Homo-oligomer: A and B are copies of this chain.
Amino acid sequence: MAEKAFGAIELGGTKTFVMIAKDKTNIYSRKIFPTLSPNQTISDITNFFKDETNSLDLELASIGIGSFGPLDLDPESKTFGYITSTPKEGWQFTNLKGKIEESLQIPAAIDTDVNASALGEFRSLLKQDIDSFVYITIGTGIGGGFIINRELVHGLVHPEFGHIRIPHNKRMDPFPGICPYHRDCFEGLASGPALEERWHMTAEMLPKEHMAWELEADYISLALMNLICTVSPQKIILGGGVMHQLHLFKKIYQKTQRYLNNYIKSKYLDEQIRDLIMPPKLKDNSGIFGALHLAIDTNK
């Protein structure tokens, strides 16, 4: 009899990761391919699972999907599990969950890419006594995945943390911001594309000593101050392409403390801030492992 396993999908704007595993330490197969049209990519995904389970003699119990959005995550909605009004060409109103379930004939769980990353990182913690946990990605876009009271946060639509408004000193930084909806929201000022448009260099090309990083750390710290004042997280993970610049962390620690100005008293906002705000433990695998946990959780 075929052995039981789980499928995981991380659907990104440019790349798609797929994985088959029994649990987070027993991985049978994984693959990365480019994200193309919905038809092409969904058949790449389902063919991977069909071929691999066949040749490895495995049976999938369920699939977990972490996807770019916006997604309809309201189980009562007729378009539950769809990618909705995305700017990504061809992907508007794609029935992602439904098409995968139909093709593979197994149940799928779906959540946002940042929620999947949050879940992946949360479950990789050694101490599990944390009930308020946030994963922020700062890359092509900015987004946040929240676990509060030990569950992922969905709410009315889904959190869109990249679009919070923060102080923008236009004399110091006359760059108007690039968000098509809000101009100088957090994402409009501090995403990878904002950095590139402001400085005419990609994040990887900007030297460590460039003043770009002072400003970048400043905006990230203002956003973290707001995050801390709003949900008082016990752990904040900063991932995404821009955060590959690990030298940013030291600046962020100093500036976040300066902005909070000792108002909230905790050792984790003082000498142990390194234990509060951290890079992802799973590096660029937070999302795909989170998707695996989504799959496993549907079988509990």
Interface of A toward B, CB cutoff 8 Å = 70, 84-85, 131-132, 144, 146, 148-151, 153-168, 181-182, 222, 225-234, 259, 261-266, 268-269, 276
Contact = CB atoms under 8 A, between A and B. Distances in A.
B261 A182 contact: yes
Contacts of A268: 156
Which 5 pairs between the two chains have the least Cβ-Cβ distance?
A: A155-B232, A132-B155, A181-B263, A149-B151, A149-B149
A229 B266 contact: no
How many copies altogether? 2
A52 to B, nearest CB: 35
Contacts of A229: 159-164
Given A164-B226, A259-B182, A155 B84 contact: no
A165 B266 contact: no
Nearest to A233: B155
A158 to B, nearest CB: 6
Contacts of A149: 148-151, 153
Nearest to A76: B129
Contacts of A157: 232, 264-266
Nearest to A129: B76
Contacts of A232: 153-160
21 contacts: A84-B265, A148-B148, A153-B232, A154-B232, A155-B232, A156-B232, A156-B234, A156-B269, A156-B276, A157-B266, A158-B232, A159-B232, A160-B229, A160-B232, A164-B226, A165-B222, A165-B226, A165-B259, A166-B166, A181-B261, A182-B263
